[in-house]
Chain A
Amino acid sequence: MAQTTQTEALPSHEEAVYRRPAALTETQMRYCPGCTHGTAHRLIAEVLDELELTDRTVAIATVGCSVYAYEYFNTDSVQAAHGRGPAVATGIKRTSPDSIVFTYQGDGDLAAIGLSEVIHSAQRGECITVLFLNNAVFGMTRGQMAPTTLVGQRTTTTPQGRDPKLEGTPMMICEMLSGIPGVAYLARETMIDPKTVADARRSIKKAFQAQADGAGFSLVELVSSCPAWWHKSPLESLHWIRDEMLTQYPLKVFVDYKRQD
């Protein structure tokens, strides 16, 4: 009976196993159902919280579906003109070197209009972090061909499928940047199941760590979904990434400043 009394004196309680990260605001994200932009935001926020960087982070929102990113992160933020994210990030990082500065860019923003900004930032070894969402279309403007569109992929501007003779071949950003000495961390990840989500989180964490360590430029490409303009369900979109996108864009850690090789 004494045991029972003791048990009653200790009320049961709950321990949080997973909470919405504090680095996300309570604002509902405007992305379409099942779009992995939201997953990427959540992972970035989790990493900023875990590394205790949220209070000194400046997010650079760019142009595209993620244009409202400044409303979603509980950080300071600046909205950059189309493609100019890494240039704006450079200015902020150089004038406020204690800040952690990251850009969040889609493939339209980074690989099309903003290609020179990201290459030159990498070339200068700018100590910023770039999150690059590659979903192979311009999502915000209703699914036109992007530089990253797969060969044969139908979009509103390639109704017969992308023809390499007419429109060239998909742009491989990580491969382009991988030989640049100023790059400290460079990886391509995706978010199609719990394992790849965990892998993506680990790479995002390493990219921010590279910046916090002052090691140089870091970029994580996230092969992402666009259920709306791929005309697929959220789950079918993840399968399409697995079966089609990853054939063109293999997952890989290209550069890791901590790896000796």
Chain B
Amino acid sequence: MKHSYRVAINAEHCKACGLCIEFCPQDVLGFASTRNDAGFYPAEVQDQANCIGCLRCAMMCPDACIEIWRLVSADDRVAAAESVTR
């Protein structure tokens, strides 16, 4: 089953070090085109559909800006329920 993920970046805490972008194997992330209040162009999600939920970005972020969620669709839940009853 292929999962979908949602990566959330705290743009105000981000200092644009770029490490999340460098270490993402899927080119999901890039720099935003507008500055945050501190004057940095923060990292942003540019291709969410490509994310494989590997957490590398979150592991490398020195500012604990990144949180990741797995999307559990209704279909997944039906499949999970069926696999339990089977």
| A258 contacts the other chain (CB 8 A) | no
- Mostly, the A contact residues are mixed
A38 in complex: contacting residue of B5, B53, B63, B75, CB < 8 Å: B63
Contact A18 B18 (CB under 8 A): no
Nearest CB on A from B32, distance (A) = 15
| B31 contacts the other chain (CB 8 A) | no
Known contacts A31-B62, A33-B17; is A19 also within 8 Å of B67 by CB?
A: yes
Contact B62 A197 (CB under 8 A): no
Nearest CB on B from A23, distance (A) = 11
Residues in B with CB closer than 8 Å to A3 are 78
**Alpha-carbon separation in the docked complex, A17 to B72 (Å):** 11
Known contacts A17-B69, A24-B64, A194-B23; is A34 also within 8 Å of B59 by CB?
A: no
- Mostly, the B contact residues are mixed
A-B contacts, 30 of them at CB < 8 A, read A3-B78, A6-B78, A8-B74, A12-B71, A12-B72, A14-B6, A15-B69, A15-B72, A16-B67, A17-B55, A17-B69, A17-B70, A18-B66, A19-B67, A24-B64, A28-B12, A28-B13, A28-B63, A29-B62, A29-B63, A34-B19, A35-B62, A36-B62, A42-B61, A42-B62, A193-B23, A194-B55, A234-B17, A234-B19, A235-B19
Residues in B with CB closer than 8 Å to A194 are 23, 55-56, 59-60
| A13 contacts the other chain (CB 8 A) | yes
Query: How many contacts between A and B, using CB within 8 angstroms?
Result: 99
Contact A197 B59 (CB under 8 A): yes
Q: In the complex, what residue of chain A is closest to B58 when comparing beta carbons?
A: A18
We find that the number of chain A residues with CB closer than 8 angstroms to chain B is: 40
Interface 0/1 of A2-46, CB less than 8 Å to B = 010011101111111111110010001101111111110110010
Nearest CB on B from A208, distance (A) = 19
Residues in A with CB closer than 8 Å to B73 are 12
Going nearest first, the 6 A-B pairs with the smallest beta carbon separation are A38-B62, A34-B17, A33-B15, A14-B69, A234-B17, A33-B17
**Alpha-carbon separation in the docked complex, A195 to B54 (Å):** 12
Residues in B with CB closer than 8 Å to A197 are 59-60
**Alpha-carbon separation in the docked complex, A21 to B67 (Å):** 10
| A198 contacts the other chain (CB 8 A) | yes
| B77 contacts the other chain (CB 8 A) | yes
Residues in B with CB closer than 8 Å to A6 are 78
Name the residue among A20, A45, A198 with the largest chain B CB count within 10 angstroms: A20
Contact A20 B67 (CB under 8 A): yes
**Alpha-carbon separation in the docked complex, A107 to B23 (Å):** 27
Instruction: Give chain A interface residues in 156-205, CB to chain B under 8 Å.
Output: 193-194, 197-198
**Alpha-carbon separation in the docked complex, A34 to B23 (Å):** 13
Q: In the complex, what residue of chain A is closest to B6 when comparing beta carbons?
A: A14
Q: In the complex, what residue of chain A is closest to B16 when comparing beta carbons?
A: A33
Residues in B with CB closer than 8 Å to A235 are 18-19, 22
A17 in complex: contacting residue of B53, B61, B63, CB < 8 Å: B53
Contact B17 A12 (CB under 8 A): no
Contact A16 B69 (CB under 8 A): yes
Nearest CB on A from B28, distance (A) = 14
**Alpha-carbon separation in the docked complex, A12 to B76 (Å):** 9
